[in-house]
């Protein structure tokens, strides 16, 4: 085989590209991963906070993240690499009747598709979240099997494990064209070379639409910016990742957790949204986030923030990823539009992609997996569990 010939080419060495490379290499595929950044995980993956939940409202996302959780939870045993997996769960505390009804209505769907989750009353929420503001607290949901892991350690481990199994990586190379013959993909052209493969997977994150344009595909992925931060380490005082679904004039939902080192990692969904590719941190984020965090957990008022940063959420119109082989170009696959959830969905999506390539069908039931179709109606919008 020529040094430029492969079974599969993956565009993007991030939250989806890395686990896909790992699982394909494990199945003895020759894999090339191309990324314009200087090393793995330097795009949107670099800015994720590390939460991994199956607590979604979409069936395909629920079952995909259940697969991801199995990968993360068994990773140290299978590879020997410690990625700081912590099964602390997720909790959505509720302070008004409307949010309570929304979350309770979702429980039936979530349980139907395999999620372990229940509604807890006010007293039980206070037990798992000691120190939470109890004024008007009505209760909340709790999914104990959700977790958090270190994004950095996970990225490095997926990269190293893929290389051990034979995957090749080309960094500092930008894909500038998709090569096709007779309505089939045959490879890619980069800023430095040409590589050949009968399968090309678009895992380009916020830039997925630009890759699609190379083959005249309109991929509805449009990024917006979100900011996050991390505090100094303090003694562990709560386990779950907490999601405050209340909004205010500056933000929608807000979420945070304590990582392996005791640092509180936090993020919020801005209001209004900030579309585009700007990843420069702002001076306005921290006052908004700090006010929300202290309102929910007053005991955090004296904790010191170490740094903040800004990343991109590659959004689809309905808040659900696109995972599909396109009909217009045989062998060209999409694993895009992860909507800021690429880290938690990545391993599960990778396992489904590998199964499709090997056997022609996903691991998930086909009717469920169709929720990720490139050809679906994108009319719906997800808000509360975004």
Residues 322 and 272 in one domain: no
Predicted pLDDT at 338: 98
- 380 pLDDT exceeds 80? no
**Position with higher pLDDT, 382 vs 313:** 313
Residue 197: its pLDDT value, please?
A: 98
The answer to whether position 363 is within a domain reads yes
Judged by phi (left if over 0) then psi (alpha if -120 to 50, else beta), residue 193 lies in beta
Report angle CA 373, 377, 379 to the nearest 5 degrees. Answer: 130
Q: Is 69 strand, coil or helix?
A: helix
Nearest to residue 141, comparing CAs of 110, 181, 179?
110
Distance separating alpha carbons of residues 268 and 66, to the nearest angstrom:
24
Contact criterion met (CB below 8 Å) for 304 and 232:
yes
Per-residue confidence at 379, pLDDT binned at 50, 70, 90? confident
pTM of the complete model: 0.97
**pLDDT digits over 329-368, tens only?**
999 999 999 999 999 999 999 999 999 999 999 999 999 9
- Domain interval for residue 202: 8-50+152-221+318-372
Q: Are residues 195 and 336 in the same domain?
A: yes
Provide, for the chain, the percentages of residues in helix, strand and coil under a 3-state DSSP scheme, each rounded to the nearest 5: 30, 25, 40
Average pLDDT over residues 87-107: 97
Same domain, 98 and 242: yes
Label the pairing between strands 31-34 and 194-196.
Answer: unpaired
Within-domain flag for 285: yes
Predicted pLDDT of residue 381:
57
In a domain, residue 260? The reply is yes
Q: Which of 270, 297, 314 is at the close of a domain? A: 314
Domain CATH for 339: 3.50.50.60
331 lies in the same domain as 298: no
Instruction: Let me know if residue 67 belongs to a domain.
Output: no
> Same domain for 98 and 111?
yes
Rounded mean pLDDT of the chain? 96
Structure tokens at 171: 């960094």
Domain termination site, one of 291, 314, 337: 314
Domain shared by 157 and 303, yes or no: no
Contact 1, 23 (CB under 8 A): no
Residues 197 and 250 in one domain: no
Give the pLDDT confidence score for residue 385 in this predicted structure: 59
In a domain, 59, yes or no: no
* Tens digit of each residue's pLDDT (9 = 90 or more) over 138-195: 999 999 999 999 999 999 999 999 999 999 999 999 999 999 999 999 999 999 999 9
80: left (phi over 0), alpha (psi -120 to 50) or beta: left
Closest CA to 208 of 52, 21, 63, 374: 374
Assess if residue 77 is contained within a domain: no
Torsion of CA 319, 139, 266, 80, to 10 degrees: -80
What is the count of structural domains for the chain? 2
Residue 256 to residue 263: CA distance in whole angstroms:
10
Q: Which of 191-200, 215-224, 331-340, 374-383 has the lowest mean pLDDT?
A: 374-383
How many Cα atoms occupy the beta-carbon half-sphere of 28 within 13 Å? 1
357 Cβ partners below 8 Å, 6+ apart?
8, 24, 29, 199, 333
Q: Has residue 382 got a pLDDT over 60?
A: no
Residue range 229-247, pLDDT digits in tens: 999 999 999 999 999 999 9
Beta bridge partners of 76: none
Assess if residue 249 is contained within a domain. Answer: yes
For the domain that residue 101 is a member of, what is the CATH number?
A: 3.30.9.10
In terms of domains, do 213 and 301 share one? no
Rounded Cα gap, residues 32 and 59, in angstroms: 31
Q: Are residues 127 and 38 in the same domain?
A: no
Q: Are residues 231 and 310 in the same domain?
A: yes
Q: With beta carbons less than 8 A apart as the criterion, state whether 92 and 253 touch.
A: no
* Domain end marker among 265, 282, 314: 314
Cα 386 to Cα 200: distance, rounded to the nearest angstrom = 29
Q: Is residue 384 scored above 80 in pLDDT?
A: no
**β-pair type (31-34, 168-170):** parallel
User: Which DSSP symbol is given to 147?
Assistant: E
- The residues that bridge with 228 in the sheet, in sequence order, are 267, 309
Residue 379's Cβ-count burial label (10 Å; 0-12, 13-18, 19+) is exposed
For residue range 102-140, what is the model confidence (pLDDT) as tens digits?
999 999 999 999 999 999 999 999 999 999 999 999 999
Residues 33 and 141 reside in one and the same domain: no
Domain assignment present for 355 = yes
Confidence of residue 262 (pLDDT cuts 50, 70, 90): very high
pLDDT band at 386 (very low <50, low <70, confident <90, very high): low
* Tokens read off for 352: 């489904």
From the number of C-beta atoms within 10 Å of its C-beta (0-12, 13-18, 19+), residue 319 rates as: buried
CB 312 within 8 A of CB 326: no
The verdict on 117 and 159 lying in the same domain is no
């Amino acid at each position: 085989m020529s040094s430029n010939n492969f079974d599969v080419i993956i565009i993007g060495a991030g939250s989806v590209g890395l686990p896909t490379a790992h699982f394909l290499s494990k199945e003895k595929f020759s894999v090339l991963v191309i990324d314009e950044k200087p090393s793995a995980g330097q795009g949107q993956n670099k800015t994720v906070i590390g939460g991994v939940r199956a607590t979604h409202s979409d069936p395909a996302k629920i079952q995909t993240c259940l697969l991801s959780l199995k990968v993360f939870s068994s990773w140290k045993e299978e590879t020997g690499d410690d990625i700081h997996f912590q099964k602390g769960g997720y909790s959505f505390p509720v302070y008004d009747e409307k949010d309570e009804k929304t979350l309770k209505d979702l429980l039936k769907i979530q349980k139907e598709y395999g999620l372990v989750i229940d509604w807890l009353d006010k007293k039980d929420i206070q037990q798992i979240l000691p120190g939470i503001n109890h004024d008007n607290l009505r209760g909340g949901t709790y999914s104990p099997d959700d977790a958090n892991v270190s994004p950095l350690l996970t990225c490095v481990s997926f990269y190293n494990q893929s290389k051990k199994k034979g995957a090749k990586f080309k960094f500092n190379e930008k894909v500038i064209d998709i090569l096709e013959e007779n309505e089939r993909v045959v490879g890619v052209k980069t800023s430095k070379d040409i590589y050949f493969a009968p399968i090309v997977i678009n895992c380009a994150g916020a830039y997925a639409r630009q890759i699609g344009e190379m083959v005249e595909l309109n991929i509805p992925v449009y990024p917006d910016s979100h900011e996050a931060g991390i505090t100094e380490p303090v003694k562990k005082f709560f386990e779950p990742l907490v999601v405050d679904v209340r909004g205010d004039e500056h933000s929608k939902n807000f979420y945070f957790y304590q990582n392996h080192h005791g640092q509180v990692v936090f993020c919020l969904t801005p209001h209004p949204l900030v579309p585009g590719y700007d990843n420069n941190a702002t001076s306005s984020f921290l006052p908004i986030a700090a006010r929300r965090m202290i309102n929910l957990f007053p005991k955090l008022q004296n904790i010191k923030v170490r740094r903040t940063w800004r990343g991109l959420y590659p959004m689809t119109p309905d808040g659900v990823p696109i995972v599909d082989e396109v009909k217009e170009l045989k062998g060209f696959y999409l694993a895009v539009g992860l909507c800021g959830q690429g880290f938690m969905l990545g391993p599960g999506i990778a396992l489904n992609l590998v199964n499709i390539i090997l056997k022609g069908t996903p691991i998930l039931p086909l009717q469920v997996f169709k929720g990720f179709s490139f050809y679906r109606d994108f009319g719906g919008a997800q808000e509360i569990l975004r």
